[in-house]
Amino acid sequence: MRVGIGHDTHRLGSGGPLKLGGIDIPHDHELVGHSDADVLMHAVVDALLGAAALGDIGQMFPDTDPANRRRDSAEMLEAARDAVRAVGWRIGNIDCIIFAQRPRLLPHRQAIRKRLADILDIDPERVSLKGKTGEHVGPVGQEEVIAAQCVALLEPR
């Protein structure tokens, strides 16, 4: 088995909706980045690629490539899933954390889990998602950024 960890942080800008885990969440801010800035999907991509020793999201989808401007992160996750499969691994499970002061994620948790599971072609029971606030401290707590971490377990196919 192989384990990988992924992390990503994106700053918040005015506007909305907020895109997390492939779901549009009503909010007064949005994530800012070169692609669609879905911080959760980016962390999952890095966890999968890391577990399979295939580099990282920046190597697969460089922000210097105009084709990646506003790219849907679901496409990135599909490409990472396919790359992991191509080298003989299958996804055992993922365990994710979103660090955000607002919005509350609990009402959206199941929809995000299902969306990630659908893209990864795994059972939603193999997708864990937790939300943590910044307790009003630091960039997360002051609502300057949203961050995400993910651990992925790969098993031989």
Find the Cα–Cα–Cα–Cα dihedral 34, 37, 39, 41, rounded to 10°: -100
Task: Compute the 3-state secondary structure of the chain and give helix, strand, coil in percent, each to the nearest 5.
Answer: 35, 35, 30
**What is the token pair recorded at 117?**
């599971």
Residue 70 has a pLDDT of 85
3 state SS for 91-138: EEEEEEEEECCCCCCHHHHHHHHHHHHHHHCCCHHHEEEEEECCCCCH
Q: Is the pTM of this model over 0.75?
A: yes
Give residue-wise pLDDT tens across range 32-78.
Answer: 998 899 999 999 999 999 999 999 999 999 989 988 888 899 999 99
β-bridge mates for residue 153, sequence order: 3, 93
Taking residues 82-107, what's their average pLDDT?
97
Mean pLDDT, the chain, as a whole number? 96
Give residue-wise pLDDT tens across range 137-151.
Answer: 999 999 999 999 999
Domains of the chain with CATH codes: 2-156 (3.30.1330.50)
